[in-house]
């Protein structure tokens, strides 16, 4: 297969991270961009360091371009479902930024359009490719903390008027909810580490009284409790209304030890200190700036899966849809004020 040619849809903040990651990957390059602002090819080339980019102002025209193999959706959340389905139907491989949709019905429509077809879909849960989560998962999989019975992953990212996307991310038809807006990264990380089906979700929410967060149209802080099929229990806090530095928190308790963020304690390693934490030296998930997120290894894995006609690892459509099902179970729990069984969410 020749070099994969990628079309970038939307030229907002995250598009810069996607373009940088694609250009740094083997066997792929950005061929075109699509933006309603219709910048000149020269302006796009100068700003992003691209060579002779094609610029479209109409998405359907981009999909009709036979030179495009992969479409990367960096558009606003509300457009993801229609754009993703159109790309799948056009035979393009698709990268969909998270969340893939703002409702369960729309998410399932994308899933159904993809299922049984030949195109590859990758979803923007790039944190699964981070060094911190890779190391954390390895510690768990090697049995260094034994059998896990409890885990928590929390997302603390104060997003207010100082944040460039706040004007739309604070709306129900924009960010959607605290979980959909950013906390989905924490929930997705928890599901990766716990590695078991979820049976039931109970969620609770509150909202900061700080003036800077008053424009939120949804509860900006939520806590979700997950019951797993093998008896484990998990917790996810998602706060976009905290006045503090960005913090991605992890805690896992097992039969032989514990993990706390980038530290662990284990009785599986003779001689390891039991009265203080041992630091796991790695690159932390400590920034909300998408330019700091591990997009490049994710895009490389995506391109490799296309070339090899193999399943997309970690963040393919199947894994991502299951994460979204749990998100929408949490949203339904908030709406109904009761626990929600996963059997209530279409598979």
With beta carbons less than 8 A apart as the criterion, state whether 49 and 24 touch: no
Residues 334 and 196 occupy one common structural domain: yes
Residue labelled with tokens 């908030």: 334
* CA–CA distance, 256 with 231 (Å, rounded to integer): 17
Q: How many CB atoms lie within 10 A of CB 332?
A: 18
Residues 51 and 170 occupy one common structural domain: no
Residues 259 and 328 occupy one common structural domain: yes
Please state at what angle helix 104-114 crosses helix 317-336, rounded to 10 degrees. Answer: 160
Which tokens in the block code for residue 30? 């950005």
With beta carbons less than 8 A apart as the criterion, state whether 72 and 95 touch: yes
| Preceding peptide of 20 cis, ω within 30° | no
Residues 109 and 155 occupy one common structural domain: no
Residues 68 and 52 occupy one common structural domain: yes
Residues 156 and 283 occupy one common structural domain: yes
CA angle, residues 291, 82, 163, in degrees to nearest 5: 30
Distances (CA, A) of 249 to 54, 185, 258, 276: 41, 11, 14, 19
What CATH number should be reported for the domain holding residue 195? 3.30.360.10
Mean pLDDT computed over 275-303: 96
Residues 83 and 209 occupy one common structural domain: no
With beta carbons less than 8 A apart as the criterion, state whether 278 and 157 touch: no
For residues 254, 259, 264, 265, the Cα torsion angle rounded to the nearest 10 degrees is: -30
Q: How far is CA 202 from the centre of its chain?
A: 21
Residue-by-residue DSSP string for 46-79: HHHT-SS-EEES-HHHHHT-TT--EEEE-S-GGG
* CA–CA distance, 182 with 203 (Å, rounded to integer): 16
With beta carbons less than 8 A apart as the criterion, state whether 239 and 220 touch: yes
Mean pLDDT computed over 327-337: 98
Mean pLDDT computed over 138-158: 98
* Mean pLDDT of the residues in the chain: 97
Instruction: Tell me if 319 is assigned to some domain.
Output: no
Mean pLDDT computed over 153-180: 97
Which tokens in the block code for residue 154? 């929390």
Given a cut of 90, is residue 136 above it in pLDDT? yes
Given a cut of 90, is residue 281 above it in pLDDT? yes
Which tokens in the block code for residue 91? 């035979």
For residue range 200-227, list pLDDT tens digits in order.
Answer: 999 999 999 999 999 999 999 999 999 9
Given a cut of 90, is residue 1 above it in pLDDT? no
With beta carbons less than 8 A apart as the criterion, state whether 196 and 327 touch: no
Residues 189 and 243 occupy one common structural domain: yes
Spatial CA neighbour of 172 closest among 220, 121, 139, 135: 220
Residues 168 and 98 occupy one common structural domain: no
Q: What percent of the chain has pLDDT over 70?
A: 100
Instruction: Tell me if 235 is assigned to some domain.
Output: yes
pLDDT of amino acid 16:
97
Q: Which residue has the higher pLDDT, 6 or 291?
A: 6
Assign 80 to helix, strand or coil.
helix
Full residue range of the structural domain in which residue 85 is found: 4-126+295-314
> What is the maximum alpha-carbon separation in the chain?
64
Residues 195 and 66 occupy one common structural domain: no
For the chain, how many structural domains are there in total?
2
Residues 153 and 281 occupy one common structural domain: yes
Q: Exposed, middle or buried, 274 (CB in 10 Å: 0-12/13-18/19+)?
A: exposed
Q: Can you give the length of the chain in residues?
A: 347
């Amino acid at each position: 297969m020749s070099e994969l040619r990628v079309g970038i849809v939307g030229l907002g903040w995250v598009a810069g991270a996607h373009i940088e990651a694609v250009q740094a990957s083997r066997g792929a390059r950005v061929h075109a961009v699509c933006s309603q602002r219709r910048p000149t090819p020269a302006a796009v080339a100068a700003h992003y360091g691209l060579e002779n980019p094609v610029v479209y102002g109409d998405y359907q025209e981009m999909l009709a371009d036979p030179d495009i193999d992969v479409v990367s959706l960096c558009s606003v959340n509300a457009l993801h479902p229609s754009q993703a389905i159109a790309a799948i139907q056009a035979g393009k491989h698709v990268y969909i930024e998270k969340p893939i949709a703002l409702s369960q019905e729309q998410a399932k429509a994308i899933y159904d359009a993809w299922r049984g077809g030949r195109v590859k879909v990758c979803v923007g849960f790039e944190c699964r490719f981070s060094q911190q989560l890779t190391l954390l998962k390895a510690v768990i999989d090697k049995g260094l903390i034994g059998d896990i019975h409890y885990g928590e992953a929390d997302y603390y990212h104060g997003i207010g008027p100082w944040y460039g996307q706040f004007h739309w991310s604070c709306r129900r038809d924009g960010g959607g909810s605290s979980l959909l807006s950013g906390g989905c990264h924490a929930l997705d990380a928890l599901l990766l580490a716990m590695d078991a089906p979820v049976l039931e979700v109970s969620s609770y929410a509150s909202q900061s009284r700080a003036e800077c967060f008053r424009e939120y149209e949804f509860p900006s802080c939520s806590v979700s409790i997950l019951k797993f099929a093998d008896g484990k229990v998990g917790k996810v806090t998602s706060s976009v209304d905290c006045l503090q530095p960005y913090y991605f928190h992890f805690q896992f308790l097992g039969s032989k030890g514990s993990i706390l963020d980038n530290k662990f304690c284990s009785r599986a390693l003779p001689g390891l200190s039991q009265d203080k934490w041992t630091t796991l030296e790695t690159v932390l998930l400590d920034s909300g700036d998408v330019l700091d997120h591990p997009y490049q290894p994710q895009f490389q894995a995506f391109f490799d899966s296309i070339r090899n006609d193999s399943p997309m690892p970690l963040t393919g459509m199947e894994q991502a849809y299951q994460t979204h099902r749990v998100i929408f179970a949490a949203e339904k729990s908030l709406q109904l004020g009761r626990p929600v069984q996963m059997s209530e969410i279409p598979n």
